[in-house]
Amino acid sequence: MIQGDNLKKTIFLLTCLCCMALCIGAIAADTAAESQLTWLKQDSGKNYSEMNFTLFSVINEFGAQGLGVGEAVKFTAPKAGWKLQKVRVLAWSGFNETTQTFPADRNILLEVRDKDLNLLYKFADAQNNYFLSDTSPVLGEIEIPDVPVTGDFYVVFYDRGAAHIGMENDEGTGNSFLFVNGQTLPAERTIQETNETVKINWLIEAGGEAPTSELAEIKMD
């Protein structure tokens, strides 16, 4: 028979084991959910460390009028009923080497639009929650509520001068645009030496998954 202090110790031990089991289960569930995500990209397919990319800001390009200009990427959902759940953007808030300080919080915007550019989801937050680094750009991950998409859809990122976005300077896929006044314009740059106009790629990724039934079909294929 367990009595007194021994009983207390036993109850405490069982409680700890239960908490540990719950934590391990939660971690395993999160890992499994993450592994099921399909990540879509519309760039050259190279590792970021191997890409020829620079940082771009609409404010540097267009001044104050750039506040309403977004960097848009067109994706295609891999399955009917596919749900967009996360967006990754390679960008940087910046860092002042002289004062050793980060910039003040400023809002970035994110939109999801369907193939006809109708708004499906809109999100705003401080850039420092995603792109804070004292050395280089980071792949900031933005979680969003499940957004069902079918066929083509757009992810639009508004840097607003708060976070410079990664721009791959060559091997353009034709799926990156500037979103201005409800319309898309091809994202391009001009090579000064040759005066040649080439397409660029915004470094944005879209992550999501199909419904459970769709996942089962994928595994069986």
Same domain? For 43 and 70 the reply is: yes
- Average pLDDT for residues 151-165, to the nearest whole number? 98
Same domain? For 103 and 25 the reply is: no
Same domain? For 18 and 56 the reply is: no
CATH code (residue 93): 2.60.120
The burial class, CB within 10 Å (0-12 / 13-18 / 19+), for 107 is exposed
What's this model's pTM, rounded to 2 decimal places? 0.80
In the predicted structure, residue 4 carries a pLDDT above the cut 80:
no
In the predicted structure, residue 192 carries a pLDDT above the cut 60:
yes
At 35 the pLDDT is 56
- The domain in which residue 127 lies consists of 39-220
Q: Tell me what the pLDDT averaged over the chain comes to.
A: 85
Encode pLDDT of 31-64 as tens digits.
Answer: 344 458 999 999 999 999 999 999 999 999 999 9
Q: How many CB atoms lie within 10 A of CB 44?
A: 16
Residue with tokens 């959910």: 33
The burial class, CB within 10 Å (0-12 / 13-18 / 19+), for 176 is buried
Of the candidates 136, 166, 152, the one whose C-alpha atom is nearest the C-alpha of residue 84 is 152
Of the candidates 202, 195, 175, the one whose C-alpha atom is nearest the C-alpha of residue 186 is 175
Same domain? For 60 and 111 the reply is: yes
